[in-house]
Copies of this chain bind each other. A is one copy, B any other.
Amino acid sequence: MKLIHYTDLEATVVGIEGAKDVTMRTLISEPDGAANFRMRFFEVGPGGSTPYHQHPWEHEVFIIEGESACVDEAREEHPLRPGSAIFIPPNEWHCFVNKGETTLKFLCLVPTEEVQKWRAL
């Protein structure tokens, strides 16, 4: 088994267009033997947001800390709190916005590239 605490890893700045004050840590992925899905830990600073975007793979998100909202395809905001779980289906537009004065922390899990390739067949 692999045991890790998220603070054991250095956070990487998410530099893609539209990301504002977002960092990521990959907690579990292929090099650990995780063939099917990856667990990533995100932090978003006050006033920050993940990019409003879409992609062909799904997200499974769980809010750990902070006040936040999820923006949907109609650009409508849905309030979230610690303990909220969100499923974003493939190809759906979305982003996660920090609405508070502390760091937003959440998990976001995605299928591995191998699973994505299999699904595309």
Choose among B2, B72, B84, B88 the residue that contacts A5 (Cβ–Cβ < 8 A).
Answer: B84
Interface bin, chain A: 35 or more
**Contact indicator B62/A27 (Cβ below 8 Å):** yes
How many copies of this kind of chain does the complex include? 2
Name the CB-closest residue of B to A107. B62
Residues of A within 8 A of B (CB): 1-7, 27-28, 32-37, 39, 41, 58, 60, 62, 64, 70, 72, 78, 80-81, 83-89, 92, 94, 107, 109, 111, 115, 118-119
Per CB-CB distance, the 9 closest pairs between chain A and chain B, nearest first, are A27-B85, A2-B87, A37-B37, A36-B111, A28-B87, A32-B87, A6-B83, A33-B89, A39-B60
